[in-house]
C-alpha cells in the first residue's frame, strides 16, 4: 500500500502588499479637508499650542506644496523608526494622554499620519525634540507604494540625522511664527514640519472656504466672550498671495455673529439622564435654569454624560437685522447656512461629519415640517455636543474617521439632544404672540349671520327681498359649515389613525403571519397526507382552527380601528359611555401593556347618543399623552383613571387622570394651543383636535384641572349635547 504524502500542514504569515498603505490615506480619509484636519490633530496630540498650515503655489496637480508646522514636542529617531513608521501603532492605545500637557489624545488607530498621501505624492518630515542636539529628516515617496509587485517590507524609507536647519532659531519654525505674528515665541527648539510636495488635487477659493470652515469648527467652540480658547491651541492659515488679502497668516476663529444668537440653551446631561441646563431667550440678559431627568422609553440612557450648547437664530429679515455689525442679511444667512447644525466634539476636537453643511443627522428639518410653528430647523442652529473617550466609551469612531458607530448608545445620544432642543423650543414658543385658543370657542361657532339678519330687520324692515336674501345666504352658510365639519371630522379621524399606524402594523402582522404559516402547513399536508383519513382530518381541523382564531384577532383589530376611518359616519347611536371609553383603551392595549400602566375604568352604565369615533378620538389622544409621560415615573406608580358622572339631564362629565409628572404651571395655558408640544417629537395637535371635537360637536369643554384622582395631569371633558 502506497503511503499518502498529499496531506501536509504548516504555518504561514500574512504579508501585505505595499499598496495597502496607500489605501489608508486614499480610501480611509474621505477628503482633502479631512486629511489636513487629521494632521492638525496629530499636532494637538504632540502638545503643540500653535500649528501653521502654509500653501505654496502653483496649486495644481503634480505641483505646489503644503506645509504643516507645529511647535509640539517633536520626535527622536527611535520614535520615527518604530512608532511613526509602524502602521496601526498601539502607542495611543497605551498612552491615552499627551506627555506634557496631559491632553486626551485624539488619534488611537495609528493611521492619521498617512493622511498626507491623500494630499501629495511626496512627504518630507523634519522633527526635533527639545532635548535633542540634532533634528531628524525623513523622506517618503508615496508613489513607491503603488507598485503592485512589491510588498510593504520591500519599500525603503530614507532618513537622516543632521544639525538643526529648520527646527531652530532662523529656521522655518521661526519663519512661520513671524508670519503668524508670533515672533516673541520663547523657543524654537522643538516641533515638527510636514512638507507635502506634488499636490494630488487642485486647490482654489471654494476648497479654501471648505478648509476654513472645517478648521474653524475643529476645536470645540468657546462662546464665552471673556475667554480665549485659542490660547490653548491655535490654528494659523497662510495662503498664496492670490488667495489672501493680508501678509501675515490668518488666525482661524469664528466671526462675531456667533456671539449674537437669539436663543441659547447650554449645560450638562449626566450619565443617569439628570440634566442641568440654562435657557436664555431673546431680549434676556440672564437665562433660566432647568433641572430634571431625561429618560429613553422610561429607562436611563446608555451613551454616558455629555455637555451641550445650542445657539439659535430666527431667520426672518427683522430678527437678523437686529444683529447689526458689518455683515448684511445675505452674508449673515450665508454664514448660518455654512455653519449651521449640531457638531460633535470628542475630548475637545471635532468628530466629522456631524454639523457639516446639509448633514442633518438629527433630522431636524423633518421635525420642523411636521410642526413648523414650534420646531427648529437645522439651518437655525449652531450647536456643539462635547463627549469624552472616558465618559462615553460606547460612542466609538468608525474606522474611516467619518462618524460614530451606529448602535443603542448613539441612538440614545440623538434622543437626548432632541429632548434638549424640545426644552428650548417650549420656552421659545412661550415668547411668541398667541391667538385665542380654538378649544375655548369652537372652530365654527362664529360662522353665522345672526347679527347681520338683526341689523337688516331694523334698518330695512320693508325690504323683503333683502331679508329673504340674507335668510337664504344664512341657510347656505350653515349648509357649508356642516359640510366643512364633516370634512374636518374625516381628516381628524385620519390624523388619529395615522398616529395609530404602528398599532395596526404590529397587532396585524402577528396574526397574519400565523395565518400564512398555517396555510402553508395545511397545503403541504394535502400533498403528503400522513396516516389514515381520520388522522389527516384531525390535522386539518387543527390548521383551520388556528386560521379561524387568528382571523378573529384581525377582525377585532379592524373593529377597534374602524371608527377612525375617513368614511362618512352614520347617525349617532345609543350606547354607554363606559363602553366607548373601554373600546378606546383597547385600541392602545399593547402600548398600555408595554408601559406597565394600571388602568382603572368605571364599571357603571351611562347611556348616551354619541358618535363613538368622536369620543374615542378624544380618549385616544389623552391616553397617548398619558402613556408617554407615565414613562417618566417608576413603573409601579403608573396609573390611568377614568371616571364618568352624569351631572344633570343633558350634561355629562368624564374625568381622565394619570399619575405622571403632570403639566408644569408655566405650560398650563399653552397645552391647547395648536402645535404646542413638550414631547421632543410631538406635533402638538392632539389636544387641539380633542378640544375642537368636544366644543364643536358636543357644545362642551375640555379643560385641565388643578386636582384629580391621580397626582399627574387631570382633564375634565364636559359634554352638553347628545348626552
Which CATH number is 26's domain given? Answer: 3.30.565.10
pLDDT above 60: residue 664? yes
Closest CA to 223 of 269, 278, 250, 261: 261
Per-residue CA distances from 380 to 246, 334, 383, 548 (Å)? 32, 12, 10, 55
261 and 248 part of one domain: no
Domain ranges, residue 39: 19-254
> pLDDT confidence of 530, banded at 50, 70, 90?
low
Q: Is residue 108 part of a domain?
A: yes
Task: Report pLDDT for 659.
Answer: 96
pLDDT above 50: residue 225? no
Q: Is residue 278 part of a domain?
A: yes
DSSP letter, residue 487: H
> pLDDT confidence of 555, banded at 50, 70, 90?
low
Task: Report pLDDT for 495.
Answer: 59
233 and 377 part of one domain: no
pLDDT above 90: residue 611? no
Task: Report pLDDT for 17.
Answer: 77
207 and 68 part of one domain: yes
> pLDDT confidence of 404, banded at 50, 70, 90?
very high
| Number of independent structural domains in the chain | 2
Domain boundary among 194, 223, 254: 254
Q: Give the integer Cα–Cα distance in Å for 272 and 299.
A: 9
Least confident range of 212-226, 465-479, 574-588? 212-226
Q: Give the integer Cα–Cα distance in Å for 476 and 478.
A: 5
> pLDDT confidence of 224, banded at 50, 70, 90?
very low
295 and 390 part of one domain: yes
284 and 246 part of one domain: no
Q: Is residue 305 part of a domain?
A: yes
Chain mean pLDDT for the chain: 82
> pLDDT confidence of 492, banded at 50, 70, 90?
low
Q: Is residue 722 part of a domain?
A: no
For residue range 57-95, list pLDDT tens digits in order: 999 999 999 999 999 999 999 888 888 877 666 655 566
Q: Is residue 392 part of a domain?
A: yes
Q: Is residue 609 part of a domain?
A: no
Task: Report pLDDT for 420.
Answer: 97
61 and 174 part of one domain: yes
268 and 173 part of one domain: no
Q: Give the integer Cα–Cα distance in Å for 435 and 674.
A: 10
285 and 189 part of one domain: no
69 and 97 part of one domain: yes
Domain boundary among 209, 233, 254: 254
What's the pTM value of the predicted model, to 2 decimals? 0.62
Q: Which three cell numbers stand for residue 623?
A: 391616553
187 and 48 part of one domain: yes
Q: Give the integer Cα–Cα distance in Å for 275 and 306.
A: 10
Per-residue CA distances from 212 to 122, 201, 465, 648, 711 (Å)? 24, 17, 76, 73, 54
Domain boundary among 431, 459, 487: 431
Task: Report pLDDT for 504.
Answer: 63
> pLDDT confidence of 228, banded at 50, 70, 90?
very low
Q: Is residue 641 part of a domain?
A: no
60 and 46 part of one domain: yes
137 and 279 part of one domain: no
Q: Is residue 675 part of a domain?
A: no
Task: Report pLDDT for 570.
Answer: 56
* Nearest-5° Cα angle at 566, 682 to 374: 20
- Average pLDDT, integer, range 402-407: 88
> pLDDT confidence of 494, banded at 50, 70, 90?
low
Least confident range of 43-47, 109-113, 137-141, 718-722? 109-113
Amino acid at each position: 500500500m502506497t503511503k499518502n504524502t498529499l496531506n501536509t500542514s504548516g504555518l504561514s504569515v500574512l504579508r501585505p502588499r505595499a499598496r495597502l498603505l496607500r489605501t489608508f490615506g486614499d480610501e480611509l480619509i474621505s477628503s482633502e479637508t479631512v486629511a489636513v484636519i487629521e494632521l492638525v490633530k496629530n499636532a494637538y496630540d504632540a502638545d503643540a499650542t500653535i500649528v501653521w498650515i502654509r500653501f505654496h503655489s502653483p496649486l495644481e496637480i503634480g505641483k505646489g506644496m503644503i506645509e504643516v508646522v507645529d511647535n509640539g514636542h517633536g520626535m527622536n529617531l527611535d520614535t520615527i523608526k518604530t512608532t511613526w513608521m509602524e502602521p496601526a501603532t498601539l502607542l495611543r492605545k497605551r498612552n491615552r494622554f499627551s506627555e506634557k500637557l496631559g491632553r486626551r489624545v485624539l488619534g488611537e488607530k495609528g493611521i492619521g499620519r498617512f493622511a498626507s498621501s491623500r494630499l501629495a505624492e511626496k512627504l518630507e518630515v523634519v522633527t526635533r525634540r527639545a532635548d535633542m542636539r540634532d533634528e531628524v529628516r525623513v523622506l517618503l515617496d508615496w508613489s513607491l507604494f503603488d507598485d503592485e509587485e512589491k510588498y510593504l517590507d520591500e519599500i525603503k524609507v530614507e532618513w537622516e540625522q543632521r544639525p538643526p536647519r529648520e527646527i531652530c532659531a532662523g529656521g522655518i519654525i521661526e519663519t512661520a511664527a513671524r508670519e503668524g505674528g508670533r515672533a516673541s515665541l520663547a523657543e524654537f527648539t522643538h516641533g515638527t514640519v510636514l512638507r507635502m510636495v506634488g499636490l494630488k488635487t487642485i486647490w482654489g477659493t471654494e476648497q479654501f472656504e471648505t478648509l476654513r470652515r472645517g478648521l474653524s469648527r475643529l476645536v470645540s467652540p468657546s462662546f464665552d466672550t471673556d475667554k480665549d480658547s485659542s490660547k490653548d491651541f491655535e490654528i494659523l492659515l497662510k495662503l498664496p498671495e492670490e488667495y489672501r488679502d493680508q501678509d501675515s497668516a490668518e488666525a482661524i476663529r469664528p466671526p462675531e455673529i456667533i456671539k449674537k444668537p437669539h436663543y441659547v440653551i447650554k449645560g450638562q446631561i449626566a450619565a443617569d439622564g439628570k440634566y442641568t441646563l440654562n435657557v436664555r431667550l431673546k431680549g434676556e440678559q440672564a437665562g433660566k435654569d432647568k433641572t430634571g431627568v431625561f429618560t429613553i422609553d422610561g429607562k436611563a440612557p446608555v451613551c454616558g454624560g455629555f455637555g451641550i450648547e445650542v445657539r439659535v437664530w430666527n431667520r426672518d429679515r427683522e430678527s437678523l437685522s437686529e444683529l447689526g455689525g458689518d455683515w448684511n442679511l445675505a452674508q449673515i444667512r450665508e454664514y448660518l447656512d455654512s455653519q449651521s447644525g449640531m457638531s460633535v466634539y470628542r475630548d475637545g476636537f471635532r468628530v466629522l461629519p456631524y454639523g457639516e453643511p446639509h448633514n442633518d443627522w438629527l433630522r431636524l428639518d423633518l421635525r420642523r415640517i411636521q410642526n413648523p410653528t414650534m420646531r427648529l430647523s437645522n439651518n437655525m442652529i449652531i450647536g456643539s455636543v462635547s463627549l469624552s473617550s472616558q465618559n462615553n466609551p460606547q460612542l466609538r469612531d468608525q474606522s474611516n474617521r467619518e462618524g460614530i458607530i451606529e448602535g443603542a448608545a448613539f441612538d440614545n445620544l440623538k434622543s437626548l439632544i432632541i429632548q434638549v432642543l424640545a426644552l428650548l423650543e417650549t420656552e421659545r414658543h412661550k415668547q411668541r404672540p398667541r391667538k385665542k385658543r380654538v378649544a375655548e370657542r369652537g372652530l365654527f361657532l362664529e360662522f353665522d349671520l345672526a347679527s347681520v339678519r338683526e341689523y337688516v330687520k331694523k334698518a330695512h324692515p320693508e325690504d323683503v327681498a333683502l331679508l329673504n336674501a340674507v335668510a337664504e345666504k344664512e341657510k347656505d352658510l350653515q349648509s357649508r359649515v356642516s359640510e366643512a365639519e364633516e370634512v374636518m371630522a374625516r381628516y381628524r379621524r385620519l390624523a388619529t389613525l395615522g398616529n395609530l399606524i404602528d398599532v395596526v402594523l404590529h397587532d396585524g402582522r402577528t396574526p397574519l403571519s400565523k395565518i400564512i404559516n398555517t396555510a402553508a402547513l395545511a397545503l403541504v399536508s394535502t400533498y403528503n397526507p400522513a396516516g389514515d383519513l381520520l388522522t389527516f382530518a384531525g390535522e386539518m381541523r387543527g390548521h383551520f382552527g388556528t386560521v379561524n382564531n387568528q382571523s378573529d384577532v384581525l377582525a377585532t383589530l379592524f373593529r377597534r380601528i374602524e371608527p377612525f376611518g375617513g368614511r362618512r359616519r352614520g347617525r349617532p347611536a345609543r350606547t354607554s359611555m363606559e363602553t366607548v371609553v373601554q373600546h378606546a383603551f383597547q385600541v392602545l392595549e399593547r402600548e398600555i401593556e408595554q408601559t406597565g400602566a394600571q388602568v382603572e375604568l368605571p364599571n357603571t352604565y351611562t347611556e348616551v347618543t354619541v358618535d363613538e369615533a368622536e369620543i374615542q378620538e378624544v380618549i385616544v389622544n389623552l391616553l397617548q399623552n398619558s402613556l408617554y409621560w407615565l414613562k417618566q415615573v417608576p413603573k409601579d406608580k403608573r396609573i390611568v383613571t377614568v371616571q364618568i358622572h352624569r351631572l344633570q339631564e343633558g350634561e355629562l362629565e368624564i374625568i381622565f387622570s394619570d399619575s405622571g409628572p403632570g403639566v408644569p404651571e408655566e405650560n398650563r395655558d399653552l397645552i391647547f394651543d395648536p402645535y404646542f408640544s413638550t414631547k421632543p417629537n410631538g406635533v402638538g395637535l392632539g389636544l387641539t383636535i380633542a378640544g375642537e371635537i368636544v366644543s364643536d360637536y358636543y357644545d362642551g369643554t375640555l379643560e385641565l384641572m388643578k386636582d384629580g384622582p391621580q397626582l399627574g395631569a387631570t382633564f375634565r371633558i364636559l359634554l352638553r349635547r347628545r348626552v
